[in-house]
Amino acid sequence: MNLKLKIWRQPNKEAKGKFEVYEVEATPEMSFLEMLDVLNDQIIEEKGNPIAFEHDCREGICGTCSMVINGQPHGPMGLTTTCQLHMRHFKDGDTIVIEPFRATAFPVLKDLVVDRDSFDRIIQSGGFVSVGTGQAPDGNSILIEQEVAKDAFDAASCIGCGACVAACPNASAMLFVSAKVAHLAYLPQGQVEASKRVKRMVHQMDREGFGNCSNTYACEAECPKGISVENIAKMNREYFSSVIGSQKK
Amino acid sequence: MIKLDAKIPEGSLAEKWKKYKSSIDLVAPNNKRKLEVIVVGTGLAGASAAASLAELGYKVKAFTFHDSPRRAHSIAAQGGINAAKNYQNDGDSVYRLFYDTIKGGDYRSREANVYRLAEVSANIIDQCVAQGVPFAREYGGTLDNRSFGGVQVSRTFYARGQTGQQLLIGAYQALSRQVSLGNVEMYNRHEMLDLVMVENKARGIVTRNLLTGELKSHAAHCVVLATGGYGNVYYLSTNAMNCNVSAAWRAARRGAAMANPCFCQIHPTCIPVSGTYQSKLTLMSESLRNDGRVWVPKKMEDVEAIREGSKKPTDIPEDDRDYYLERKYPAFGNLVPRDVASRAAKDVCDEGRGVNKTGLAVYLDFEDAIHRYGKAEAYSAGKDSEDGELVRKLGTKVVEAKYGNLFEIYEKITGDNPYVTPMRIYPAIHYTMGGLWVDYNLETTLPGLFCIGEANFSDHGANRLGASALMQGLADGYFVLPYTIGSFLSKEIKTPAITDDSSEFKRVIEEVKTRLENLLAVKGDRSVDSFHRELGLIIWDYCGMSRNEEGLKKGRKLLKELKKEFYSNVFVPGEMNEYNPELEKASRVADFFELGELMIVDALHREESCGGHFREESQTEDNEAKRDDENYTYVAAWEWKGEEEPLLHKEPLEFENVELKTRSYK
Ligand SMILES: Cc1cc2nc3c(=O)[nH]c(=O)nc-3n(C[C@H](O)[C@H](O)[C@H](O)COP(=O)(O)OP(=O)(O)OC[C@H]3O[C@@H](n4cnc5c(N)ncnc54)[C@H](O)[C@@H]3O)c2cc1C
Ligand code: SF4
Ligand code: FES
C-alpha cells in the first residue's frame, strides 16, 4: 500500500517546527512503527536525517511511544498504543498526519519526541507508600477483597504514556494523577498516607502547568489502557476530604 | 590476570546466608552518608537496589537511558514471580525452590547463591504487597498463586498478565520516594558508555546525555550495574528494542569476566516473523501450552497448500496432523520445558513443514480445548452436550476467560482470530542466563564493580525457570546487594569523596569521544539496523537453538567479516551533540559484535549439551541433550583480550546438596 505521510519535524526544543510530506510503501502486516522504520531506512539511504520518535517495548506496556495520528493520540483504534497499531487499519492511498503530543507540560524535544518528566515529578511528590525495604509484614497479613484488588489493579494499569493529556482540550493530567491516587487509596496499605498524598500530587500537577479538568472525558476515550474517569471522581472525593480534614485540625 | 574466588561462606547450605549477615562488617550510618554509589539501570534490579541503598543512608546516583525509570524492560514481564511461601500448603519450601532452580538450570549454577535466592524470595512478596502491588487475590482475600513452568507446586504470584509492570511500578515508586527525599540523584536519558577504574577499583562511569549528546563523567566509591540482558544481540527477540549489552560489555573490556555468554533462553511460543521489516517478536505466554496442542501437517502437499493459501489449517484432517510433541514426549506432551519445545519446533521446520510463508511457524491449536471445556460446561449445566454449536460457544467462553487477553494481543498483531483458526507460533530468544561473573557478594572480578539482575550470570545456570527472573532481580536489589555491598564499602569509610578530576576520568571521556567520532566518521552506505539484522541472523543461525562445531566456526568467520564491513561502511547520520538515536544504536551494535563473538567462542568450547545450549555433537541416541558432568561442571568465565583469543577461567561447581540427574521428559 502507498501512503502519504505528513510528519511534524522540529530539530530541537527551541526551534519552530513544521510539517513535511513523505511517501512510503507499507504492507498491511506491518505495525505503525515498523512503517516508520521503513521510512527512516529510506531517509537514511538518501543520507537524510531520520524522524525521531520514541518507542521501546513495542507491545503496549512501557508507555514510551507517544504520537498523535490523524488527530488522535495513539491513532484511530481504541485501547491500542501506537506500537500496537497495525497498517491493516489503513488503506492504500491514505494520507496520515503524524505529530507529537502537544501540551505545555510536555515540551517537544525533537520531531515526535516530547519531555514527560513532569509525570515523574508528580509521582515523586507523593505517588508511593512510605515503606522501607524489610519493614513489611507477611503478605497475607493484609487481606484484600477480590473486588478491591481488581479496582486497584485497574487503576494501576496506567502506563504513564500521557495520551490523556494530549487528548484533553485543557491538557489536564487528571486521569493520570487520579489513576495513581485511586490505585493506592483503594488498598489498605495506601490509605494511611492517602490524604497527604492526594494534596501533594494535585499541588505538583498544578505546578507543572497542566490544565484544569472540565469533564470532557476525552482522556478516557483515548487512554490505551481504558483507565476510567471514575478515578477522577474518586480523586476529587479524596481531595475534598483531605482539605476538610486538614481544616478541622 | 583474573582470579576467580566465589567467596562462598562456610557452613551448611541453610546456615550460610544467616551467618554471613550476622558476621559481615557493617557501615555506620554517619559513614554511609559519606559513601557514594552509582547504580546504572533502574529496572527491577536497579530500582530496588537504588531505593534500598538510599534508605540505608548511602548517597546514590541512579542512571537510565530511558526517559523514566518506569519504562525499563522489566515492565513487559507477564507471567509472574516465584516465591517459596507455601501459601497453598502444597509442600513448597525454600529447599524445593532451590532444588527446582538448580535442576531447571541443568546443574550449572552455584548452590550457595541459589539457596540464598530461595530464602529471600518470600520477603520479596511481603515487600511488594506493602508497596501496594495489586497481586491477584482469592475470594477470602489471601494472595493467589498459580503453577508455572513445569514445577509441581503453585508458587507463582501474579498480577493478571502484567506482573512485571506492577512490580516495576512498585520499585519505581520506592525509588521516586528516595528521589523526593534527596537521597537519590536520578539521571534519566543518560547512557553509560564506559567504566572508569582508578587504582584497580571501579570509581565511576562516563555517560552520554541522550538529549544533548554531552559526555560527562560521574564518580563514586563503587559502581553497580543493573543493566539487563543481551538478548538483542539476535536483533529479533522478545526484549524491548533498546535493551543492549554495552554497560556490561564495557566492563568486560575493562577486565570484568563474562560468564557463560552462550547460555541463552529461547522461548517456544512467540508470534513468528512475518517480513523483513520486522522489528521485534512478541511473546505469547507459556501458559497457553496448558491447553493448546502443537502440530504441523504430516504431508508436504498440505504444507504447500497452506502456504499458498489454497488450504486452511482447519481443512487438514486429524489423521494428517503431526502432534509432534505428544508423539515424541508422551509423558509431558505439549508441556515439555522451553528448550525442548523450541528445538522440536525447529526440527519440524528444518524438515520443511513450517506453516507460514517463511516456513518458520507451527500451529498452536485450541480446538480440542474449546471442545472439551464446552462439553463439560454443557453437561454440568444440564444442556445437550452433543449440540456442536452450543458446545463450541460454551467452550469458547471458557477459553476466553482463561486466555482472553493473550488471544486479543495475538489478533491485534496478526489479524487472525485464534478462536477459529489455530495460532501460529515460533521460538524466539527471550532471556540470557549468561552475564558478568559475580561472586557471592555479587561483585564482579573488578573490585568495587557489582552486577545484579539479568546482567549477571548468577542463579539460573544453563536454563531459567519461568517466573524466576523477576524473583532474582528483586532479590538482588532489595535483599542481597544492600548487605553484600558492605563487604566492599566497609573498607572505604576512610576514603574521601571520589572526584572526577583525575587523569583516569579524563582519559576515558576522551576514549569514548573518539569511539563515537569514529562511528560518525565512517559515512558509509549501510544503516546501523541493516548490520544489526545481519549480525542477529548469524548468531541465530549458528549460535541459536542448536549448535555444532562447523557452524560455530563459520558463524565466527561471517561475524568477523561483517564487523569489518561495519567499521568501513556504516552510515550514522547526524551529529554527536544532539539527540541522535542512530548514534546510540551504532555504539550498541559495535559492542554486540564483540559479545556475539564471545558467545560463539563459549559455545564452541562447551562440547556438551546443557539447558539452553544444545551441541549437536553431544546428544543421546534418541536425539536428546547429553550433559557431560565429568568435563563441564564449571562456570566458564571469559577474559576479553581484544584482538587476541579470549582467555578461559573456570569456576568449578561443587554440588554438596543435590545429586546430578539427567532430565527426561519422555
Ligand atoms: C516478554 C518478556 C516476558 C517476561 N516475563 C517474565 C515473567 O513472567 N517472569 C519472570 O520472572 N521473568 C520474565 N521475563 C524476564 C524478566 O522480565 C527480565 O529478566 C527482568 O525484568 C530483567 O530485569 P533487570 O532489572 O535485570 O533489567 P531491565 O529491566 O532490562 O532493566 C535494565 C535497566 O538498565 C538500563 N540500562 C541498560 N544499559 C544502560 C546503559 N548503558 N546506561 C544507562 N542505563 C542502562 C535501562 O535503562 C533499564 O533501566 C520476561 C522477559 C520478557 C522479554
Ligand atoms: S491514564 Fe491512560 S492515557 Fe493517561 S497516562 Fe495512564 S495509560 Fe496513558
Ligand atoms: S513502545 Fe512500549 S507502549 Fe508503545
Mind listing the pLDDT tens digit for each residue in A208-239? 999 999 999 999 999 999 999 999 999 999 99
| DSSP string covering B484-547 | HTHHHHTT-TTSPPP-S-SHHHHHHHHHHHHHHHHHHHH--SEEHHHHHHHHHHHHHHHSSSSB
> Global pTM?
0.97
Question: What's the total number of domains in chain A?
Answer: 2
B7 confidence band (pLDDT: 50, 70, 90): very high
Q: Quick one: pLDDT at residue B339?
A: 86
Q: Does residue A19 form part of some domain?
A: yes
Beta strands in A71-202 (DSSP E): 72-73, 95-100, 108-110, 113-114
Q: Are residues A97 and A185 in the same domain?
A: no
Pairing relation of β-strands B264-270 and B81-82? Answer: unpaired
Q: Does residue A192 form part of some domain?
A: yes
Q: Does residue A194 form part of some domain?
A: yes
Closest CA relative to residue B328, chosen from B624, B127, B84: B624
Report which DSSP code applies to B662.
Answer: -
> Distance (Å, rounded) from C-alpha B325 to C-alpha B339?
12
User: Which tens digit of pLDDT belongs to each residue from B450-495?
Assistant: 999 999 999 999 999 999 999 999 999 999 999 999 999 999 999 9
> What CATH code is carried by the domain that includes residue A176?
1.10.1060.10
Q: Quick one: pLDDT at residue B536?
A: 98
Q: Are residues A173 and A87 in the same domain?
A: no
> Distance (Å, rounded) from C-alpha B389 to C-alpha B372?
13
A246 confidence band (pLDDT: 50, 70, 90): low
CA–CA min distance B662, chain A (Å): 37
Domain that holds residue A14: 2-109
> Distance (Å, rounded) from C-alpha A84 to C-alpha B655?
47
Q: Quick one: pLDDT at residue B150?
A: 65
Q: Are residues A121 and A243 in the same domain?
A: yes
The two counts, helices (H) then strands (E), for chain A are 9, 7
HSE-CB at A58 with a 13 A cutoff on CA atoms is 25
For the complex shown, is ipTM > 0.85? yes
Q: Quick one: pLDDT at residue B188?
A: 98
8 Å CB contact between B128 and A27? no
Can you tell me which atom of ligand 3 is nearest the CA of A224?
3
Q: Which of A140, A144, A177 to mutate to test the interface with B (most CBs of B within 10 A)?
A: A140
The CA distances from residue B177 to A124, B95, B125, B185, B186, in Å, are 6, 35, 20, 11, 11
Ligand nearest to the CA of B468: 1
Q: Does the beta-carbon distance from B240 to A132 stay under 8 Å?
A: no
Q: Are residues A121 and A230 in the same domain?
A: yes
Q: Are residues A200 and A170 in the same domain?
A: yes
Q: Are residues A214 and A193 in the same domain?
A: yes
Q: Ligand 3 centre from B139 Cα, in Å? A: 33
Domains and CATH numbers, chain B: 268-429 (3.90.700.10), 505-627 (1.20.58.100)
Q: A132 contacts in B (CB within 8 Å)?
A: 52, 55
Q: Are residues A29 and A81 in the same domain?
A: yes
> Distance (Å, rounded) from C-alpha B71 to C-alpha B175?
13
* Average pLDDT of the residues in A198-202: 98
8 Å CB contact between B370 and B396? yes
Q: Ligand 2 centre from A116 Cα, in Å? A: 12
Q: Does residue A79 form part of some domain?
A: yes
Residue B65, chain A, CB below 8 Å: the answer is: no
User: Which tens digit of pLDDT belongs to each residue from B414-435?
Assistant: 999 999 999 999 999 999 999 9
Q: Are residues A43 and A157 in the same domain?
A: no
HSE-CB at A36 with a 13 A cutoff on CA atoms is 25
> Distance (Å, rounded) from C-alpha A227 to C-alpha A215?
15
* Average pLDDT of the residues in B2-11: 95
A249 confidence band (pLDDT: 50, 70, 90): very low
Q: Does residue A210 form part of some domain?
A: yes
Q: Does residue A180 form part of some domain?
A: yes
Q: Are residues A51 and A121 in the same domain?
A: no
**Does the beta carbon of A201 lie inside 6 Å of ligand 2?**
no
Q: A137 contacts in B (CB within 8 Å)?
A: 126, 130
User: Which tens digit of pLDDT belongs to each residue from A113-150?
Assistant: 999 999 999 999 999 999 999 999 999 999 999 999 99
Q: Are residues A147 and A231 in the same domain?
A: yes
> What CATH code is carried by the domain that includes residue A36?
3.10.20.30
Closest CA relative to residue A86, chosen from B418, B411, B363: B411
A residues 86-125 closer than 8 Å to B (CB): 86, 88, 109-110, 113, 115-117, 119-120, 123-125
Q: Quick one: pLDDT at residue B34?
A: 95
Mutate to test the pocket of ligand 2, among A68, A175, A229, A235 (most ligand atoms within 8 A of CB): A175
User: Which tens digit of pLDDT belongs to each residue from B346-380?
Assistant: 999 999 999 999 999 999 999 999 999 999 999 99
CA–CA min distance A45, chain B (Å): 7
Residue A240 has pLDDT above 80, yes or no: yes
B residues 478-517 closer than 8 Å to A (CB): 478-479, 482
Q: Does residue A37 form part of some domain?
A: yes
Q: Are residues A88 and A122 in the same domain?
A: no
8 Å CB contact between B496 and B142? no
Q: Are residues A123 and A214 in the same domain?
A: yes
Residue B172 has pLDDT above 70, yes or no: yes
Q: Quick one: pLDDT at residue B622?
A: 84
Closest partner CB to A157 (pick from B138, B162, B274): B162
- With cell 559515512, the residue in question is B523
- What's the mean pLDDT when you consider all of chain B? 96
* Average pLDDT of the residues in B115-141: 97
User: Pick the residue with more confidence: B335 or A212?
Assistant: A212
